Structure 1
């Protein structure tokens, strides 16, 4: 096979991973409080940039530089399975990065700068010499900033014609980005064996599964408690109660997860994270609807 099939390229770009940054971008749009009527083209282009372009670029970069790890953890992936021959994985990562920059440049200087920063983090996460993912603290922080905080701020900036978002939106973006560090830790449980054997110090490797699970839960919960406090301070009590209810439901799931971190990490990542991102939207709506004046 001289070149990969379209279906193999799509698998390399991992569409399932595009949702978190697209959702965060949409939350930034909502939190701006500005009308969508005249900004639909830019918003749709921004969603394309957040998910199918920048996030997809990061997935291609990661698969290329993780091909030896995936040969242990996920041998069915396009590169270790041989369905992505030669250096095609690397060339696709470069091409998608270039396309992402081209689209980002069409949305103005702020979005272009955000795109450059996000792509630099994507390459720094996976590629030597930095390869931030070798340490779970740094690697997960890079992913959390790129997937949540940066995407949120970019969405708000697109709505504001490239202006810097207001401070309440920035605070929410920062807090949900911090909580996403715990979400990234959940994703590391499935690759525990390969990480150990290849010298990647993810948090489950560094701390052990039980302590890593505790750290992930605390990292997710504490920022949400601060969000609730901010919403009360901003006089949005109904939104605060809503986020509190979502956090309480996560707490019940956390109890089950902590009883069996290795067996339930994927389960909690699906259910608990869904509740987490619903809280993001509810917080954004607090700003949009004037409840946080």
Structure 2
């Protein structure tokens, strides 16, 4: 047997090249979560810039004259180091969390997600363990070097992600706790933690402004819809391995409808924020864009056949696309205010 065959993750399914390994790693990192994490890092940075700009604009002429030139230069010059450190730290934390989940769910994923590298044999268990351990350590080290708020955010996220997947706690076995883990991290910890990190880096007041609370509440509720919807296409494997989910308890149609109405409530809420002008955003831009997304959501929902696993998976990815868009639309509305 050749040396290359001996080093294969599983006989008959070697990772034959560097590019194939990178593609397997891309699948292992769950691309939709990587994109969502990257956009949240960028989106909160743009919001912090908008708030910093507004703070400078509201300083009176006399007060401006009393502020040192160096301080003004520091506040008005937006270094990319805080956002780059946050991006790397959050990406590594993301890979740790989704990778640990795959390490514990290999047999389930062979039924629900056979394309994932551990389930398909592209990665061995040892390779997965090495990636998870390395990215977890790297996430904490990068966050520690970048700032205290980022370190706190990453550490709390990794702790919750570990409790979600790893026995004996394994909170994903319980539908309420599983959903709470997902939307607390994505909805609250990431948004507030990133804003406080950027605010600290820009030497701003550590008070969280209304626009950040609005986005946090929107993402919190929206992520709940993602958390319960994600189990619809995985019902077969979850039932076989005694993983209780809302889909198994309530049925796919009920969970589909609940997710749809939860996202609808998110959009109606953000439209109301624009109409009532309760935050520093461009109201017209905010209302028009979210009305369009709401109409798109309902039109797209009419085409979903809940008997087709592929159709459910495609709609799930569509929901993630809506999630991505919010981290672009909302910061733009803040910058246009």
Normalization by structure 1: what TM-score?
0.87
Q: Does 1:232 align with 2:275?
A: yes
Aligned to 2:102, what secondary structure does the other structure show? helix
- Residues 226 and 319 in structure 2, CA contact (< 8 A), matched pair in contact too: no
Residue 75 and residue 107 in structure 1: after superposition, are their counterparts in 2 closer, same or farther (change >3 A)? same
Aligned length: 289
Aligned to 2:244, what secondary structure does the other structure show? coil
Quote the offset at 1:50 in angstroms: 2.2
When structure 1 is superposed on structure 2, of 190-199 and 124-133 the one drifting more is 124-133
Matched residues in 2 for 1:273 and 1:138: separation?
A: 21
Residue 178 and residue 258 in structure 1: after superposition, are their counterparts in 2 closer, same or farther (change >3 A)? farther
Gaps of 5+ in 2: 1-5, 10-14, 54-75
Quote the offset at 1:279 in angstroms: 3.6
When structure 1 is superposed on structure 2, of 101-110 and 181-190 the one drifting more is 181-190
- Residues 149 and 194 in structure 2, CA contact (< 8 A), matched pair in contact too: no
Matched residues in 2 for 1:192 and 1:287: separation?
A: 40
Gaps of 5+ in 1: none
Q: Does 1:48 align with 2:88?
A: yes
- Residues 153 and 173 in structure 1, CA contact (< 8 A), matched pair in contact too: yes
Residue 117 and residue 261 in structure 1: after superposition, are their counterparts in 2 closer, same or farther (change >3 A)? farther
Residue 74 and residue 237 in structure 1: after superposition, are their counterparts in 2 closer, same or farther (change >3 A)? closer
Residue 172 and residue 258 in structure 1: after superposition, are their counterparts in 2 closer, same or farther (change >3 A)? farther
Matched residues in 1 for 2:212 and 2:8: separation?
A: 45
Residue 49 and residue 255 in structure 1: after superposition, are their counterparts in 2 closer, same or farther (change >3 A)? same
- Residues 100 and 165 in structure 2, CA contact (< 8 A), matched pair in contact too: yes
Quote the offset at 1:232 in angstroms: 2.1
Aligned to 2:123, what secondary structure does the other structure show? coil
Structure (1 or 2) with the larger CA radius of gyration: 2
Residue 86 and residue 55 in structure 1: after superposition, are their counterparts in 2 closer, same or farther (change >3 A)? closer
**Matched residue, 1:166:** 209
Aligned with 1:154 (options 174, 193, 212): 193
When structure 1 is superposed on structure 2, of 156-165 and 219-228 the one drifting more is 156-165
- Residues 125 and 132 in structure 1, CA contact (< 8 A), matched pair in contact too: yes
Residue 192 and residue 106 in structure 1: after superposition, are their counterparts in 2 closer, same or farther (change >3 A)? same
Quote the offset at 1:199 in angstroms: 0.9
Matched residues in 2 for 1:273 and 1:188: separation?
A: 14
Matched residues in 1 for 2:321 and 2:243: separation?
A: 27
**Matched residue, 1:95:** 134
Matched residues in 2 for 1:243 and 1:195: separation?
A: 34
Aligned with 2:261 (options 209, 218, 221): 218
- Residues 54 and 115 in structure 1, CA contact (< 8 A), matched pair in contact too: yes
- Residues 31 and 287 in structure 1, CA contact (< 8 A), matched pair in contact too: yes
Q: Does 1:131 align with 2:147?
A: no
Matched residues in 2 for 1:268 and 1:9: separation?
A: 24
